[in-house]
Amino acid sequence: MISAQDSQALTPVVKEVLAQGIPVVTLERSVGVPVTLHVGPHNKPIGVLVGKFLVDKLGGKGNVVEIKGDPAVAPAVERHDGFAEVIAGTDIKVIAEQHADWDQEKALKFMEDTLQRFGPGQIQAVYAHNDNMAFGALKAIQAAGRDKEGILIIGIDGENRAIRSVAKGELTATFTYSTVAPEGVIAAYALAKKDLSGLDKLGTLTKDADGHMEIEIPSQMITKDNASQFFCKGFGDDPECK
């Protein structure tokens, strides 16, 4: 099982393992060669979900601030691309954007600067590529006394603390992004036992012409309406989950 921090660096090792007939399971991030089974969510569809959510909530028009992740990794690129495609045919405009590298402090500083540039009523929503940056935006908005404006704040990952914040009406929504560890272990065990029945229960199972498989774990939208159903089912620290 491989959970790659640097996909390219691990590719030669994975090639060697596959050449010896050993099945390889990649979790969340793929490597530079097709493996036996990849397990993980798809980032672009999550960006699409965010776009559709904001189009619906804003009635197809408004100004959005986009706080992006690390530009060197696929999740940030794909979370932007899916969102951009959806809003392209609407009157929703991204009026400020910056890569904050998944970091809350960088997001907070960028949001502080953005609030200086755009006064009350000029920002309708913030789309952060992860919950951590969404919290940075929230802190800046609250510190500026602009949390009464109804600015929508959207994050991704489904962290436990973000789910609580959504339930309180602070963050507007978060979209789950499975860490896929449980599914990966189940899948690896199935490969080792040579019994693949039941893999389709973990997510959407597909297989290409060469027999390489993928299990896509779908994202779920969490809003104030359903947040209580997800308490302690995300990841990260939450004192109420201990």
SS3 content of the chain, % helix, strand, coil (to 5): 45, 20, 35
The stretch 74-79 carries a mean pLDDT of 90
Rounded CA gap, 53 and 69, in Å? Answer: 20
Rounded CA gap, 232 and 240, in Å? Answer: 8
What pLDDT band is residue 45 in, cutting at 50, 70 and 90?
A: very high
**E-assigned strand segments in the chain:** 25-27, 37-40, 61-68, 91-99, 125-128, 152-157, 173-176, 204-207, 213-216, 221-222
pLDDT (tens digit, 9 = 90+) per residue, 186-203? 999 999 999 999 999 999
pLDDT (tens digit, 9 = 90+) per residue, 217-240? 999 999 999 999 999 988 887 778
In order of their start, the domains of the chain are 7-35+181-216 (no CATH), 43-177+221-241 (3.40.50.2300)
DSSP state of 192: H
Percent of the chain exceeding pLDDT 70 equals: 100
**Does residue 175 contact residue 50 with C-beta atoms inside 8 Å?**
yes
Model's pTM, two decimal places? Answer: 0.89
Helix (H) or strand (E) holding 85: helix 74-87
